[in-house]
Amino acid sequence: MAEYDLRIDYYPTHELQGIEYRRGHVLPFGATMVPNGVNFSVYSSASTSCSLVMFERGEPLPFAEIPFPEEFRIGNAYCMIVFDLDFESLEYGYRMDGPHDPANGHRFDNSKILSDPYAKAIGGRDTWMASPDWDNIYPFRSRLVFEDFDWEHDRPLQIPIEDLVIYEMHVRSFTMHPSSGAKYKGTFAGIREKIPYLKELGINCVELMPIYEFDEWEHSKLHSDTGQQLVNYWGYSTLNFFSPKAGYAASGKLGMQVDELKTLIKDLHSNGIEVFLDVVFNHTAEGDHRGPTISFKGIDNKTYYMLTPEGYYFNFSGTGNTLNCNNPVVRNMVLDCLRYWASEYHIDGFRFDLAAILGRAPDGSPLNNPPLLESLAFDPVLAKCKLIAEAWDAGGLYQVGNFPAYGRWAEWNGKYRDHIRQYLKGDAGRVGHLAQAIQGSPWLYPTRGTTAGINFITCHDGFTLYDLFAYNEKHNQANGENGNDGCNDNESWNCGCEGECDDTEINALRYRQIKNALTILLVSQGVPMIYMGDEMGRTQHGNNNTYCHDNELNWLNWALKDKNADLFAFARHMIVFRKAHPVLRNRDHFTYSDYKNTGFADITFHGANPYQADFSEGSRVFACMLNGQYAKNGAETDDHIYIATNSYWDAVVLELPQLPGGMHWHTSVNTGMPNGASYFDLGQEPVVEHPKHFILGPRSAIVLIGK
């Protein structure tokens, strides 16, 4: 006993096969290092017994299995301190016993060893696509991590959300292509190597597609025609919410994924780039009644999942099950999880996949005041984190514009995406929608301001920006689902030819349309988001649902940066332009008034003639002028900015609005000009040749500066 801490609380009271233990602490849940041992705590309301099962790392059989004595159960939590464990080599899990009564929601199976829902690391998928051992009695093993990373002076950046330019990316896809030149391809370390590129592009926030531990072999199959291996590539199927994916770390096989991810975040912060995580709390990898028992299903199925009265799984996620997020126990787990990522990983914000599910009651009905969403909004640890909802789910609940916000939540603005796509391909009756979108969608968010909307035209779901103007239809045959997967409402236009072609006019139009899209996105009020590779014309060859491809369909081909150098330079310019002009980054909506008596309202609308905007069904031309005296809602001063777009197939002559005396219009952007002449660097903008008129080319956009 002499080697133990002298405090009486830490003396063992029990022994089994030479392993000493005692009753532990209920909180925190999970495995926590304590003096001379590890405290294990796990919740289960309906189990009749629980055992702690411990393995040496990688060994097929456990070295010990300790039943929790009844006196170690406090309420519905089992807790135990085990002494003298080797933290670094320990893998652990739980074996629960209880009723197997699916009709009443219980699916206990004491033949299974279960992962800890609060584990900070999961073993089993340490190396990406390493062949699994299908005979492993415990394939996804809970592990401990050392919380000893030295953050030095790092802290979340807290950049105002209206100043962000978000870049959505997939960890593996970003550097896996041979052309990336990265030493550690497909990993957190690989992204770190590419930080100079992110700075060159100018974005100041990366949004990482799911990095929680998942199994890339889940639902894997060989394509029936091509024989290609298809996998769970995107990772929207979580095994554990607290653990970073080891297969995304170059050091994952050494168990160092936590440090590698933290090092990446620390370096991104030091370069002025925030880090958002795409988090998936709507379902887990356990699927429906036919799926595997990995963790939640065997620990407390009725608590963790939404169940029908017959005991089947509600499927609002489209993947088989739905996490019961507004059960108090699950709600607390979600809160604990996000607090952990915010405090231990310095995460700046979270994007919630299919977030409408987070507002459903246990019976699936939408709640008026969802406790989880309210708790997240007012949580003290998350107070400075950005919270972003994908405000719909696969059960038909669509809440864009009315997601419960509590003054905190922003939304992926799916309406913005659809309306901009429709306008760009020339649909009639879309000028009014465009006007709303450019203003930050006040029709959707009349009281929430511009920052309620994350503006995007493309994301991981759907076409890339290049494909949006190269394909009318999806081409998903490579997914092995007979083309039945992926959405059909792409709102795309192939510019006259389906797919790749050598017609120079068509190709020129496609790249002009991409520039038009980038122009509108980056001059719109709200928060812009760019999908990885759109800035260099990445293609998925018409596939709008590449969730299963670990190949060049998803990998970013870095050779495109040189091939489409003009497009990359244009995208970079538009980001620089946005950051240089605060009048594009207001938090509140325009007032349509001149409350500072400057001679112009904060925003005015125009058509071919000044102050004569045409919102009729046949109109395809829109222009607006932003008064620089109202930058940042009047707190700062900027140039006047005139934006005009034309989705008509012929040019139009615009009469420009008159500027105050002594000021002149200068051309910053004209997408109707050929490559190399479609933009001018900051401070190099030439004076518009004719002070009153401007020829706006077919399917083009211009941005003028009044100064």
Which of the residues are catalytic?
353, 390
Query: Is residue 452 helix, strand or coil?
Result: helix
Residue owning tokens 């020129």: 508
Closest Cα to residue 241, out of 307, 142, 375, 317? 142
The Cα 603–Cα 581 span in angstroms is 15
User: Rounded to whole angstroms, how far apart are CA atoms 359 and 366?
Assistant: 6
DSSP track, 268-293: HHHTT-EEEEEE--S--TT-STTS--
Q: Which of 646, 606, 639 is nearest to 624 (CA)?
A: 606
Chain centroid to CA 602: 33
CB 455 within 8 A of CB 540: no
- Residue ranges of the alpha helices (H) in 308-365? 328-344
Taking each continuous run of H as one helix and of E as one strand, the counts in the chain are: 13, 32
End-to-end CA distance of the chain: 81
Q: Is 622 left (phi over 0), alpha (psi -120 to 50) or beta?
A: beta
Contact 508, 564 (CB under 8 A): no
Amino acid at 328: P
DSSP 589-634: PP-SS-TT-SSS-SEEEESSSTT----STT--EEEEEE-GGGBGGG
The per-residue b/e assignment along 310-343, b for 16 or more CB within 10 angstroms, e otherwise, is: ebebbbbbebbbbbbbbbebbbebbbbbbebbbe
DSSP code for 465? H
Closest CA to 314 of 300, 331, 302, 296: 302
Q: Sign of torsion, CA 404 407 408 413?
A: positive
Selection from 30, 2, 186 nearest residue 94 by Cα = 30
d(CA 264, CA 275): 10
Token pair 């107070």: residue: 383
Other beta carbons within 10 angstroms of residue 557's beta carbon come to 17
286 near 292, Cβ under 8 Å? yes
DSSP assignment of 170-198 equals -HHHHHHSGGG--SSTTSHHHHHHTHHHH
- The two tokens of residue 288 are 């429906």
Among the listed residues 117, 69, 129, 58, the one whose alpha carbon sits nearest the alpha carbon of residue 93: 117
Residue with tokens 């879309």: 430
